[in-house]
Structure 1
Amino acid sequence: MTPSRTLATAGRVLTQIRHDPRTIVLLLVVPSLLIGLVAWIFSDTPVFESVGPAMIALFPFIVMFLVTSITTLRERRTGTLERLLSMPLGRGDFIVGYALAFGLLAVLQSSIAGLYAVLVCGLTISGSIWLLLLVAVADAVLGTTLGLLASAFARTEFQVVQFMPVLVFPQILLGGIFLPRDQLPDVLQAIGDALPLSHAIDALEAVASGSEDTGHVLGELLVILAWIVGAVVLGSVTLRRRTP
């Protein structure tokens, strides 16, 4: 993997997205609108204070997963990836370049969503707002890298959507949003504890409530980082030049 080629790939992706206003709106605006909708639904109840941190994790994660996986798959289906890999560009350059490009977008997206939840929707944060944003960014980058991994196995955009019940929905159901994980059956609790979105939700809730120290939150971040690195490595190994 060569840094110059990786950065060139990231620059190419960002240039393409800059000329696609709909994708920009989907990435940067839609998660905040969805968080605002949840806050509006529960405006006369204390529910948003409880689920708000989880929403900061959930919506950016889903949007980054979908956009990244479909965009990467399109590169392979149109033959762009095959042409790129016929030049001195390795699979690692391609995957990491995409991860950097969408990771930068994830920083913007999650920062906007987090600040919107706090400043506009009135979510109370007892801990550090900067630590909250750091966890939110890591969560959005996690969605990006899992999207890259899904695109390495999918053949069509429809198959990418089919990966959501496998990679996304279980994390939503077992992440503690609907029911605290310690109240789940033992097997489901063990599975939920191992899933990366659960750690993002735990970290965001800990920062929001101020119930845990910084060391605990950083420990959760390390778990998320391990999943990010693992998804990038596995995506690089399994990436195909083109879809048959």
Structure 2
Amino acid sequence: MNPRILAATTGRILRQLRHDRRTVALLVVVPALLLTLLYFMFADLPTPPGQPNPFDRVALVMLGVFPFVVMFLVTSIAMLRERTTGTLERLLTTPLSRLDLLFGYGIAFGLAAAVQAAVAATVAYLLFGLETAGSTGLVIVIAVVNAVLGVALGLFCSAFARTEFQAVQFMPVVVVPQILLCGLFVARDQMADWLRVVSDVLPLSYAVEALQEVGAHPEPTGLMWRDLAVVAGAVVVALVLAAATLRRRTG
């Protein structure tokens, strides 16, 4: 990768994103609205003695899940448009490499994810009283890394789609199973053995576990750092695979 080209690519993607108001609203406003809906879903539920508030448990995980889902959807469609409009083919006739392009997407949307996570965390902690033993900063860091994971997987999956509808079809294949098996609904150690094995190879499981560690411990734990490293490694692998499978055009 060329640092100068990478920086220019990141800037181009950020400028495009800034002028797309609907996408900006999807990235920043929608997660906050979904957290609001979640808060009122749990508002009147009683909390058993000695048990954590159900909203605290679910909202903490969703601070990582929402960015993952939104970024997967946005980036898979954005890259598909680059190919179908011929923009990608023109870009790749320049010194720009595939890794410059894909890591540029990762950095640009990572910066957008930082804004998204900060807004969502502000809503959750200040408006709805979310309580975690660990720091808000760690929650935001994990949410941003999780968002970049969604970017990387979205870029990889977009290589196999010919239309925007096909890109969206990867959601139930790639995203939904990870949400179901991440430990939100059933603890991973209580799953059937074969489901636990599947869960162990899905990166979202480690992101959720890292968030749960922040929720339960006032100081960062070794398990949290390990989980965060696994997710970061999955991001790099997905971006490299995306570069290897990226086509200039769709057709």
TM-score, normalised by the number of residues in structure 2:
0.93
Match of 2:180 in 1: 173
Does structure 1 conserve the Cα–Cα contact (< 8 Å) formed by 2:56 and 2:132?
no
Match of 1:10 in 2: 10
Match of 1:59 in 2: 66
Among 98, 121, 140, which residue is 1:114 paired with?
121
Distance 2:127 2:67 in 1: 17
Q: Deviations over 1:50-104 (max 9, x none)?
A: 2111111111110011011101110111000001111111111111111111111
Distance 2:76 2:114 in 1: 18
1:217 pairs with 2:250: no
Consecutive unaligned residues of structure 1, counting only runs of 5 or more, are none
Distance 1:115 1:146 in 2: 27
Distance 1:59 1:213 in 2: 23
Consecutive unaligned residues of structure 2, counting only runs of 5 or more, are 46-52
Match of 2:83 in 1: 76
Identify which range, 209-218 or 178-187, moves more after superposition.
Answer: 209-218
Distance 1:185 1:216 in 2: 23
Does structure 2 conserve the Cα–Cα contact (< 8 Å) formed by 1:199 and 1:221?
yes
Does structure 2 conserve the Cα–Cα contact (< 8 Å) formed by 1:125 and 1:207?
yes
Does structure 1 conserve the Cα–Cα contact (< 8 Å) formed by 2:83 and 2:89?
yes
1:145 pairs with 2:152: yes
Distance 2:149 2:128 in 1: 25
Distance 2:145 2:136 in 1: 14
* Runs of 4+ more than 2 Å apart: 211-214
Give the alignment of 1:1-244 within 5 angstroms: 1-45=1-45, 46-210=53-217, 213-244=220-251
Q: 1:111 Cα deviation (Å)?
A: 2.0
Q: 1:194 Cα deviation (Å)?
A: 1.9
Distance 1:173 1:87, change over 3 A: same
Does structure 1 conserve the Cα–Cα contact (< 8 Å) formed by 2:134 and 2:220?
no
Give the number of equivalent residue pairs. 244
Does structure 2 conserve the Cα–Cα contact (< 8 Å) formed by 1:118 and 1:125?
no
Q: 1:214 Cα deviation (Å)?
A: 2.4
CA RMSD of aligned residues (A): 1.3
SS in 1 for 2:209: helix
Does structure 1 conserve the Cα–Cα contact (< 8 Å) formed by 2:135 and 2:218?
no
SS in 1 for 2:159: helix
Q: Percent identity?
A: 53
Q: Deviations over 1:124-176 (max 9, x none)?
A: 11112211111111111111111111112211111111111221011011111
- The one-letter code sitting in structure 1 at the alignment partner of 2:91 is L
Match of 2:50 in 1: none
Distance 1:9 1:90 in 2: 10
Distance 1:60 1:12 in 2: 22
Distance 1:113 1:224 in 2: 21
Q: Deviations over 1:200-220 (max 9, x none)?
A: 111111111228842221111
Does structure 2 conserve the Cα–Cα contact (< 8 Å) formed by 1:206 and 1:212?
no
Q: 1:47 Cα deviation (Å)?
A: 1.9
